[in-house]
Amino acid sequence: MTTTLSDLDRPQPDGADITARAISRRNTGADAVFAHATRAIGTSVLVVTGGVGLFLGYQAIPTFKRYGLSFFTEQQWSPDTDTIGIAAVLVGTFQVALVAMVIAFPLALATALYISEYAPARLKPTLVSMVDLMAAVPSVIYGLFVALLIMPYAADLSIWFDRNLGWLPIFEVPGGQADAPIPALSQYFFSAFVAGIAVSMMVLPMACAVMRQVFSQTPPGEKEAALALGASTWGMIRTVVLPFGRGGIIGGTMLALGRALGETIAVALIISPSFEIKWSLTEQGGSTISSLIANRFGTASPSQLSALLAAGLVLFLITLVINTLAATVVNRSRSGAETD
């Protein structure tokens, strides 16, 4: 005989089976529908992502068979001479992303801290909406904005870098004549530095949103305790909010980096295609994997298309690894873990 939990409180005859009734944890009704729907959606995302990777890998096989490791070490992309490699565009991809993150990271962090800790309560919703609106602006708009309005000022800044920091390879522009009365301004246009400015505008909202969300989850008790002990607002932020949000800062930055590596239209509009490794960020010319695919895809022959898809596979794997690491960091961040 199986009894209910309420029967356990009653006197039981000797030898009676008083085993509690098993409780089922299976979802029923609306819970079951929701669980199955979310499981199906999650599975479809994995299937689509895996399908994209398999498709790119299959299409890239002829390129890897023909060129081997030279595909990763060759700088030139010249299908007419059967010379194809992604060394230059791979370096250019990381250069543009580096410039974008150097600009976007401090702005995103400062904006997130201001919204979560300094902004008046009535102003916070407006600021959050404005930051989110930046993420909704098409990338072509950012590209045109930087190309037509920001580029001349960015070129002047590049000249200043070359004139004062030219001893660093990343700021030296051969032939730019920065110390001349009239520098060769055209040598500073359409560079990785200018493209990075446009990309920074697009990745800033993503990084800011992740950081702000994590900062807003800081336990109020810990913040109030720091203030009660005499800490200033900045002291409270430095000792409580920033340690608590370390996972969000790292995760948001890495998510933004993944977006910066794959940005296409804005970079294609700005950067001047050049297939050689340029260590200077402010020198004219360069290319990225995404802009290479966008510029060459329409006129590519079947063999060239395979090479472009092979380059796309490399970019896909890089961004997949970065986004996976970012998600892992964010998921492992515990409330108050760094403030105990």
H or E segment to which residue 72 belongs: helix 70-73
Q: What is the pLDDT of residue 114?
A: 94
CA distance 273 to 255: 26
Tell me the CA distances in angstroms from 81 to 63, 186, 287, one per residue in order: 15, 29, 19
Q: What is the pLDDT of residue 333?
A: 61
Q: Which of 109, 104, 76 is nearest to 242 (CA)?
A: 109
Q: Which of 189, 110, 186, 206 is nearest to 146 (CA)?
A: 189
Q: Give the domain extent around 213.
A: 69-332
CA distance 217 to 327: 17
Residues 6+ apart with CB under 8 A from 185: 155, 159
Residue 1 lies in a domain: no
Paired residues of 30 in beta bridges: none
Residue 320 lies in a domain: yes
- CATH code of residue 133: 1.10.3720.10
**Domains of the chain: total:** 1
* 109 touches 249 (CB < 8 A): yes
Residue 28 lies in a domain: no
Show the low-confidence residues of the chain (pLDDT under 70). Answer: 1-24, 27, 330, 333-340
Residue 328 lies in a domain: yes
* 89 touches 292 (CB < 8 A): yes
Residue 16 lies in a domain: no
Q: What is the pLDDT of residue 195?
A: 92
CA distance 46 to 64: 26
Paired residues of 76 in beta bridges: none
Chain segment 154-200, per-residue pLDDT in tens: 988 988 898 888 888 888 888 777 777 777 777 888 889 999 999 99
Residues 6+ apart with CB under 8 A from 31: none
Residue 94 lies in a domain: yes
Residue 150 lies in a domain: yes
CA distance 85 to 101: 26
Q: What is the pLDDT of residue 18?
A: 59
Q: What is the pLDDT of residue 336?
A: 43
The answer to pTM > 0.85 is no
């050049």: which residue's tokens? Answer: 274
